[in-house]
Amino acid sequence: MTLDGRREEYADWIATKGIGREFTGLDHEPAAHLFDFQADLVRWAIRRGRAALFADTGLGKTAMQIEWARAIVASGAGRVIILAPLAVADQTVREAARFGVDVRYRRSDHGDPITIANYEMLDHFDADYAGVVLDESSILKSFNGSTRMALIDRFQATPYRMACTATPAPNDFTELGNHSEFLGIKPRTEMLAEYFVHDGGSTQDWRLKGHAQSAFWKWVSSWGAMVKAPSDLGYDDDRYVLPPLRMHEQVVPIDHRAAWSEGYLFAPDARTLSDQRAVRRATMSSRVTIAAEIAARPGPCLVWAETNAEADAATKAIDDAVQVAGRHSPEVKRDRLLGFADGRYRVLVTKAAIAGFGMNWQQCSRMVFMGASHSFERTYQAVRRCWRFGQTRAVDVYVIRAESEQAVAANFARKEADAARMAAALGSEVKAALRANVRGGCREWNIYDPTKPIIIPPWMQEAHPCMY
């Protein structure tokens, strides 16, 4: 190969490592019912073709993904399938009907222009879709690896792809890598190799390279729009000011006499998983009593349990409570989740792993966690089912924990502080790139098509030994 050939080959390879600027989508003017910032995001996502909407809870991801799907179908490109958690599908169908868009909930392929189905039913659908939407796409990391890879493999040739979730944890780089890989932007392993280094001896811990921080978030912002509020895009937040969130901690005392036989004056703090489970069992009756007292107050109440035993006991202790558990059929789950939203059921008892994503329960302003949790993201998502844009009342959140679960509470507080610091730092990196990308269009440019040859001086045309 000639020297010029090597240079061209190297230049082509380098070009693949830069921030992606290829737009493969459509020019589309969104429907008038969208808010200004929503229209900007939809316009950008449709134009890009493959994009992620990391918009916070209550910003209208459902309305935006419906409009995105409608535009793909209207263009004549083909059908669109939306994959969503259970019961979220019914909410999407309702929302689409409000806007005059026909979205059909199915458990197998019926050939509808726009279909919505649950993730678990993916095998019942063909892959001949022009577009696919992953609703609440952050839950993919809680699925097993085979399911996640099945989604990536199934839709790798689908021209139009969208992933929608609330703003992902800014330090959860695996989640961002999974989204990038699903959208066909960059494989997760390549993302890690380019922007990260191993942190310590563990191959599972990655740290963003200091000099790559700005470049990394600019790259993410080229395909993923992280929006916490309309002001991130330069719009007014007047309609999106949240009411107060009031956190209440209820500490259950424990009987220290059992520790005396072990040589302790007081029962030690539960630090191991087995210790924490033992404490939860020992204090379950007390925690159920407190939860039932809180739920008995007038108005809707949401009770989050950690175990089936807790959920069963709480449901039995609260007269008008209904429960949604893994053992229930899809039809029962849908009826109770939507029934709570519609006001047919006053108290709902369930787990965050079941209903902590996607549901809109602004009619409820009170919830109870029956135990302290290590998972900040799962708790955050569960709280945001009620504390979201559209909520008109202050939201009261009660966390009931045992006296000896201080280590769990401290671990949660540390994660909460870390997430807040990371989110603040992320804002300065992302906002400028986000506005330029979504609103400014600076990542589009006129193709350079030279019509005049370059005249090279004779002295530059002479080969020099140092060039070889």
Give per-residue pLDDT as tens, 210-248: 888 888 888 888 898 888 889 888 899 888 888 999 999
pLDDT tens digits for range 87-101 = 788 889 999 999 999
Q: What is the mean pLDDT of the chain?
A: 83
Q: What is the pLDDT of residue 362?
A: 92
pLDDT of res. 201: 60
Segment 264-290 mean pLDDT? 73
Each residue of 165-219: pLDDT tens digit? 886 665 567 788 889 999 999 988 899 889 988 766 655 677 888 888 888 888 8
* Beta strands 206-208; 196-198: pairing state: antiparallel
Under 8 Å between Cβ of 115 and 109: yes
- 15-239 matches 242-416 in fold: yes
Q: What's the pTM?
A: 0.78
Give 313-325 pLDDT, tens digit per residue: 999 999 999 999 9
Give the residue with greater pLDDT, 263 vs 147.
147
CATH class of domain segment(s) 242-416:
alpha beta
Domain spans in the chain, listed from the N-terminal domain onward: 15-239, 242-416
Distance between CA 54 and CA 434 in Å, rounded?
Answer: 11
DSSP state of 37: H
Answer yes or no: is pLDDT of 107 > 60. Answer: yes
The distance in angstroms from the start CA to the end CA of the chain is: 13
CATH of domain 15-239: 3.40.50.10810
Angle between helices 173-183 and 145-154 (to 10 degrees): 30
> Are 351 and 369 spatial neighbours (Cβ–Cβ below 8 Å)?
no
Write out the DSSP string of 390-417.
Answer: T--S-EEEEEEEETT-HHHHHHHHHHHH
Least confident residue range of 21-35, 112-126, 350-364, 369-383: 21-35
Tens digits of per-residue pLDDT, 51-87?
999 888 888 999 999 999 999 999 999 999 999 987 7
pLDDT in tens, 428-465: 667 777 777 787 654 444 455 667 777 877 777 766 55
Of all residues in the chain, the percent with pLDDT exceeding 70 is 80
Q: Report how far residue 25's alpha carbon sits from residue 27's, in angstroms, rounded to the nearest whole number.
A: 7
Of 69-78, 260-269, 321-330, minimum mean pLDDT range: 260-269
Mapping DSSP to helix (H, G, I), strand (E, B) and coil, where does residue 207 land? strand
